[in-house]
Structure 1
Amino acid sequence: MIIKQLNYDEYKGRQYKAEVRSDKYLSIEPEGEGFSIEWVVADKEIVEPLEDDMLSNWLDNPVAFGAFEGDTLIGFVEGFLEEWNNRYRISNICVFDSGLRSKGVGTALLETILDVAANSGARMAVLETQNYNSKAISFYKKNGFEIIGFDRYAYSNDGPEEHNMRIEMGKKL
């Protein structure tokens, strides 16, 4: 496997697909003046298809790196410096084939973008995931990230019932 920087013009708007599978989700419920947060085992496996574009228009001066086996792109990471608050936003990290996950591809991509983030002078790296993506949350925690916020209704008015809430994670640099 080789990690190399992706050419913006070549990869901008390129679609990718993956799938999230999880047997649990973070339950985030109001409790007193705060919230309770705990892992709950799902009644059935959560399977969420993921389809998106690389290097979306809303990104400010993004950089992206790809993991390649031969000429085949097997995963990528992209991010940019949020100048207004001096944080580096990791906008996407994805290993396409679930069979290649837990084999070091994501770690290599994350380490690469964290080096870029640190060299940018950013004070922190941040990213978004979903409360049902238990494997991603565990991966980020293993790599020094912590939960720094959440939004129970980011994706719909039924986020808590659908077990689909935004989790914001960050790592001080």
Structure 2
Amino acid sequence: MEVFELDKNRWKDFKLHFKWSSDRYYKVDIRRTQTGWMIELKLQTTDKPIVKDYEEPLWQKWMDEESGDGARIFGVKIDGEIVGWMTVGIESWNNRLRVYELLVLEQYRKRGIGKILLDKAKQIAKQKHCRAIVLETQTNNANAIEFYRKQGFEFDGLDITAYHNDDVERNEVRIEMVFKNF
């Protein structure tokens, strides 16, 4: 397996099919205190698995607009078939590499493909002298959070209204994760 760059023009209309399920999520609890706020993310289990099945473009024009050098797309092939994709770009205003999209086909997960893609992101960030790598996931995708933590990413923050105004109640809060161990 090796990572190779994909031509954006050829892949600009490609849609990634994200499909995952989890029996765990991080419950977000935000409490106001006398001196500020207390924020807690506590791992919970659910009786009914959380199932997500949706599509998103591999690349979108705004990714180039947000990236100083323009977004880049990478893939991993096994037996001639692309089984993993990653789109990255450098946020020039704060010198971070952002992973916009990362997907490994469901039947190829837990084989090191995601690690290979993130290693490529780390290599690019180091070559471009970025201070950090950031990415987004959701509190209800406990498997993704666990994977990113194993790759050296840490919790960086959350956005409690990224998707809907009731993200906290729906247990689907956007979290940012960061890698800064260069």
CA shift, 1:43, in A, is 2.4
TM-score, normalised to structure 1, is 0.95
Measure, in 2, the Cα distance between the counterparts of 1:151 and 1:27.
Answer: 14
Aligned residue in 2 for 1:26: 26
State the alpha-carbon separation in 2 of the partners of residues 50 and 68 from structure 1.
22
Aligned twin of 1:148: 156
Of the candidates 159, 162, 165, which is equivalent to residue 167 of structure 2?
Answer: 159
Distance 1:94 1:37 in 2: 25
- Aligned runs of 1:43-122 on 2, under 5 Å? 43-60=47-64, 61-96=70-105, 98-122=106-130
Inter-partner Cα distance in structure 2 for 1:56 and 1:74: 20
* Aligned residues of 1:129 and 1:167 also touching (Cα < 8 A): yes
How far did 1:4 drift? 1.0
- Report how far residue 14 of structure 1 moved: 0.8
Question: What is the distance in 2 between the residues matched to 1:136 and 1:104?
Answer: 13
Q: CA deviation at 1:151?
A: 1.1
CA contact (8 A) 2:28 2:171 kept: no
- Looking at structure 1, the residues matched to 179 and 3 of structure 2 have their Cα atoms a distance apart, in angstroms, of 22
SS at 1:58 equivalent? helix
Distance across 1 between alignment mates of 2:13 and 2:159:
27
**How many angstroms apart in 2 are the aligned matches of 1:104 and 1:30?**
35
Please report the TM-score for the alignment, with normalisation by the length of structure 2: 0.90
Name the residue aligned to 2:44.
Answer: 40
141-150 or 155-164, which deviates more:
155-164
- Of 118-127 and 64-73, deviating more is 64-73
Offset at residue 81 of structure 1 (A): 0.4
Q: Deviations over 1:49-97 (max 9, x none)?
A: 131111111112011110111331111111000000001101011002x
Kindly provide the amino acid, as one letter, of the partner of residue 75 in structure 2.
G
SS in 2 for 1:10: helix
Please say which of residues 17-26 and 30-39 is displaced more in the overlay.
30-39
Q: Quick check: 1:153–1:165 contact (8 Å CA) kept in 2?
A: yes
Whole-Å Cα distance in 2 between the matches of residues 159 and 116 of structure 1?
33
Code of the residue aligned with 1:37 in structure 2: it is: L
- What secondary structure sits across from 1:110 in the alignment? helix
Letter of the 1:38 counterpart:
K
Return 5+ residue gaps in structure 1 as ranges.
Answer: none
Q: Quote how far apart the aligned CAs of 1:127 are.
A: 0.3
Q: Would you say how many aligned residue pairs link Structure 1 and Structure 2?
A: 172
